[in-house]
């Protein structure tokens, strides 16, 4: 069943928000505003938006390595996510997390971990807690194709299989782990099939089709909420940028990048909206302008916010035990 | 007072904490049906059920990751890693997740997990079932390492560790499981980070822990009766953070120090304690600090290999004579 007008317009706004967020981050990384590494998710917006549309209050999400978009989908104000990436005290983690560790526990974002596969073990515990506490919470665990090589991928799926853990594994297959092709790193073209060994069903979906992504995510989420266990949804997509901002990605054929850019998930949704006569160009432009205001507000907030202080370096090492400074 | 062995004391601590606090869960390999490879978790499955007492596959990373995730959700997981040597399989989870979660997420979350593990040599169990692993974790801010040497302390420190809000690695020297001592029946928590003077003395300070503590006491007894040397023996009880104040006040009195630890000498906790004594009590010293450790070789299989490498009472006696004769 096709999604209704309001839902599709909502997806459109969110996907444009993520796109503009990432573009703004890249621009300001180049200008020197952003410390450290920056992994962008341009091109992967449908995978993030379509999945997170099934996220409900009380659920948990563990974002992946290019996950700013996911962090924006739990209700955290855009300015707090952006300020975090800028390393500012007003960010979600007070500026001590950065691009790779944006977390907002009260809204269910349990944070990314910069070591691939690590969150899969954490996800087992979030899901286990839901079982022990008898809540209906579902854990959304975003991972990439590269993660399939990690031991934790297999240990965690095995545990999810035997304990029927309420987890939705969102395997965003963008074809590359830095320069290594997924097809060179793994023996299956469709990585969702990896779940077979662990009795965790998997489905492979066009990750640039937000409606298809949402349909698969909804089925997986419903399954988890009914207590029937975990599912892998593999979303085939592509990252337009290199691995990190500044990586020229010369390991990819130009023709391949061009082909995927033509499959832009946002353009695709725009075409759908126009073809189905659910919106006209003026309506879409109004959404884009609204997003732009949000981005510019967040940008000003991020630039103007203070950095953490050196006192902050000594807090939260232990609960109830002091550490000494210089 | 009633007498229990070390294993029974630990088992009683788990029963009492699981009874009084429904947030406490236990997971690990063979902890449920079997009651633990050394019997420490005996009877928990029958009393508390499968939700709270879980056998896992051979998946140390998933065990610790799941413990972290459950702790993020407010539970108090006690995970068992059957042998400390296997902790390499979950080193990433402990070092990069448990230890850092609170800091990198700006205090939004705690990881109050306890990782119980059997460590130490003497079982003729060779390379992968005999190691002392505390030094692998001393360098990781955020972690706490507890190491009892008596049944009384085993119970009180395990309860203290479960109630502590930080991730705690709880070392159980496997040669101590059968040792007996007086243990109060009621639950009691001993403080983390507090050493105990087990035997007061005036000539030499001996700092030890776990099984070596008993060797130190035996050496002190012999030196007192045969050579009229008065040793003050300190049981560290917590290795990280160790109790500087108790050590330094003893050093001030005796001026002579022997540090005893079963791990290989290079980079062991003895090196760190010696450095602190140099920094803070150099002028109190009448002799250089003496270290008693394992040799810097693996723990071999044939008894003659193990016995040569692991320190015993004679090594401690010799070290004491050396600091006296200096």
Check whether A37 has a pLDDT greater than 70: yes
The string of pLDDT tens digits covering residues B90-144 is 999 999 999 999 999 999 999 999 999 999 999 999 999 999 999 999 999 999 9
More confident residue, A90 or A113: A90
When CB atoms are compared, the residue of B61, B69, B70 closest to A152 is B61
Cβ–Cβ contact A147 with B under 8 A:
no
Contacts of B93 (CB under 8 A, 6+ apart): A118, A121, B61, B64, B65, B68
Residue A173, CA atoms < 13 Å, CB-side half-sphere: 27
**In the predicted model, what is the mean pLDDT of residues A297-326?**
96
The string of pLDDT tens digits covering residues B212-257 is 999 999 999 999 999 999 999 999 999 999 999 999 999 999 999 9
Instruction: Give the C-alpha separation, A106 to A80, whole Å.
Output: 14
Which residue's structure tokens are 């300070």?
B205
Check whether A62 has a pLDDT greater than 70: yes
**Do B3-182 and B196-325 agree at the fold level?**
yes
**In the predicted model, what is the mean pLDDT of residues B297-323?**
97
Per cent of chain A over pLDDT 70 is 100
Structure-token pair, residue A14: 């969110």
**In the predicted model, what is the mean pLDDT of residues A155-163?**
98
Structure-token pair, residue A294: 């949000």
Check whether A254 has a pLDDT greater than 90: yes
Per cent of chain B over pLDDT 70 is 100
DSSP state of B176: G
Count A/B contacts: CB-CB distance under 8 Å.
146
Give chain B positions within 8 Å (CB) of A158: 57, 59, 62
Check whether B149 has a pLDDT greater than 80: yes
Cβ–Cβ contact A46 with B under 8 A:
no
Find out whether the peptide bond into A166 is cis, omega within 30 degrees of 0.
no
Per cent of chain B over pLDDT 90 is 100
Q: What is the Cα Rg of chain A in Å?
A: 19
Cβ–Cβ contact A125 with B under 8 A:
yes
Check whether A325 has a pLDDT greater than 90: no
A235: closest CA among A112, A7, A66?
A66
B146 by DSSP, 3-state: which?
strand
Instruction: Looking at the complex, report in whole angstroms how far the Cα of residue A266 sits from the nearest Cα belonging to chain B.
Output: 32
Give chain B positions within 8 Å (CB) of A128: 25, 27, 54, 66, 69-70
pLDDT of residue B207: 98
Cα-based distances in Å from A9 to A54, A273, A280: 16, 8, 11
Q: What is the pTM of this model?
A: 0.96
A44: closest CA among A28, A68, A60, A61?
A68
pLDDT of residue A2: 74
pLDDT of residue A250: 92
Question: Which B residues, 106 through 135, put their C-beta within 8 Å of a C-beta on chain A?
Answer: 106-110, 112
When CB atoms are compared, the residue of A104, A155, A318 closest to B62 is A155
The string of pLDDT tens digits covering residues A223-235 is 999 999 999 999 9
The string of pLDDT tens digits covering residues A182-221 is 999 999 999 999 999 999 999 999 999 999 999 999 999 9
Per cent of chain A over pLDDT 90 is 97
Check whether A1 has a pLDDT greater than 90: no
Q: B167 in the Ramachandran plot: left (φ > 0), alpha (ψ -120 to 50) or beta?
A: beta
CATH second-level architecture of B3-182?
Answer: 3-Layer(aba) Sandwich (3.40)
Of the CATH numbers 3.40.190.10, 3.30.365.10, 3.40.50.920, 3.40.920.10, which one belongs to the domain with range B196-325? 3.40.50.920
Across chain B, what does the average pLDDT equal? 98
B105/A97 CB distance under 8 A: yes
Indicate if B129 belongs to the active site: yes
Instruction: Give the C-alpha separation, B210 to B147, whole Å.
Output: 6
pLDDT of residue B143: 98
Exposure of A184 by Cβ count < 10 A (0-12 exposed, 13-18 middle, 19+ buried)?
exposed
A101/B105 CB distance under 8 A: yes
Of A54-58, A109-113, B172-176, give the lowest mean pLDDT range.
A109-113
Contacts of B146 (CB under 8 A, 6+ apart): B157, B160, B161, B168, B169, B170, B171, B192, B237, B238, B239
**Catalytic, out of B129, B152, B173, B214:** B129
Superfamily grouping for domain A5-305 = Thiamin diphosphate (ThDP)-binding fold, Pyr/PP domains (3.40.50.970)
pLDDT of residue A3: 85
B65/A121 CB distance under 8 A: yes
Cβ–Cβ contact A199 with B under 8 A:
no
């Amino acid at each position: 069943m096709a999604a209704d007008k309001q839902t599709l317009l909502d997806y459109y706004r969110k996907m444009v928000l993520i796109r503009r967020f990432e573009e703004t981050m890249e621009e300001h990384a180049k200008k020197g505003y952003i410390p450290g590494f920056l992994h962008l998710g341009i091109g992967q917006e449908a995978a993030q938006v379509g999945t997170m549309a099934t996220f409900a209050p009380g659920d948990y999400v563990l974002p992946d390595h290019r996950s700013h978009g996911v962090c924006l989908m739990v209700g955290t104000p855009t300015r707090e996510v952006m300020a975090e990436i800028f390393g500012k005290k007003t960010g979600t983690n007070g500026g001590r997390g950065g691009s790779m560790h944006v977390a907002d526990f009260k809204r269910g974002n349990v944070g990314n971990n910069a070591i691939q596969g690590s969150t899969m073990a954490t996800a087992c515990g979030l899901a286990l807690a839901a079982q022990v506490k008898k809540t209906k919470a579902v854990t959304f665990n975003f991972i990439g194709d590269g993660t399939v090589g990690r031991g934790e991928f297999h240990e965690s799926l095995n545990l999810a299989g035997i304990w029927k853990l309420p987890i939705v594994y969102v395997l965003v297959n963008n074809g590359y782990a830095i320069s290594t092709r997924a097809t060179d790193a793994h023996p299956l073209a469709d990585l969702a099939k990896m779940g077979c060994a662990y009795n965790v069903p998997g489905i492979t979906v066009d990750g640039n089709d937000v409606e298809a992504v949402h349909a698969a995510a909804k089925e997986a989420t419903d399954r988890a909420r009914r207590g029937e266990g975990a599912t892998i949804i593999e979303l085939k997509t592509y990252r337009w940028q290199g691995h990190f901002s500044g990586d020229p990605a010369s390991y990819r054929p130009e023709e391949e990048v061009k082909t995927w850019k033509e499959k832009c998930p946002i353009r695709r949704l725009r075409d759908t909206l126009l073809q189905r006569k659910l919106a006209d160009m003026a309506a879409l432009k109004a959404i884009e302008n609204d997003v732009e205001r949000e981005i510019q507000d967040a940008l000003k907030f991020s630039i103007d916010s203070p950095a953490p202080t050196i006192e902050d370096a000594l807090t939260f090492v232990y609960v109830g035990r002091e550490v000494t400074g210089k | 007072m009633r007498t229990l062995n070390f294993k029974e004391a630990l088992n009683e601590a788990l029963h009492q904490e699981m009874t009084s606090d429904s947030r406490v869960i236990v997971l690990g390999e063979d902890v449920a049906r079997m009651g633990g490879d050394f019997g420490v978790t005996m009877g928990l499955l029958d009393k508390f059920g499968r939700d709270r007492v879980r056998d896992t596959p051979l998946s140390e990373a998933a065990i610790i990751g799941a413990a972290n995730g459950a702790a993020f959700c407010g539970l108090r997981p006690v995970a068992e890693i059957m042998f400390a040597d296997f902790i390499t399989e979950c080193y990433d989870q402990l070092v990069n997740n448990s230890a850092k979660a609170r800091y990198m997420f700006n205090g939004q979350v705690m990881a109050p997990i306890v990782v119980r593990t059997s460590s130490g040599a003497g079982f003729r169990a060779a390379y992968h079932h005999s190691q002392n692993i505390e030094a692998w974790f001393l360098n990781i801010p955020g972690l706490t390492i507890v190491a009892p040497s008596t049944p009384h302390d085993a119970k009180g420190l395990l309860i203290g560790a479960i109630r502590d809000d930080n991730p705690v690695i709880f070392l159980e020297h496997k040669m101590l499981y059968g040792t007996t001592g007086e243990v109060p029946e009621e639950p009691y928590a001993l403080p983390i980070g507090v050493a105990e003077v087990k035997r007061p003395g005036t000539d030499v300070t001996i700092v030890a822990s776990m099984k070596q503590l008993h060797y130190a006491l035996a050496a002190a007894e012999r030196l007192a009766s045969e050579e009229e040397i008065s040793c003050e023996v300190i049981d560290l009880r917590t290795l990280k953070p160790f109790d500087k104040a108790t050590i330094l006040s003893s050093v001030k009195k005796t001026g002579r120090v022997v540090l005893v630890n079963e791990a290989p000498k290079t980079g062991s906790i003895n090196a760190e304690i010696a450095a602190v004594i140099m920094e803070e009590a150099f002028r109190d010293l009448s002799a250089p600090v003496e270290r008693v450790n394992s040799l810097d070789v693996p723990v071999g299989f044939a008894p003659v290999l193990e016995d040569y490498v692991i320190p015993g009472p004679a090594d401690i006696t010799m070290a004491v004579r050396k600091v006296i004769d200096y």
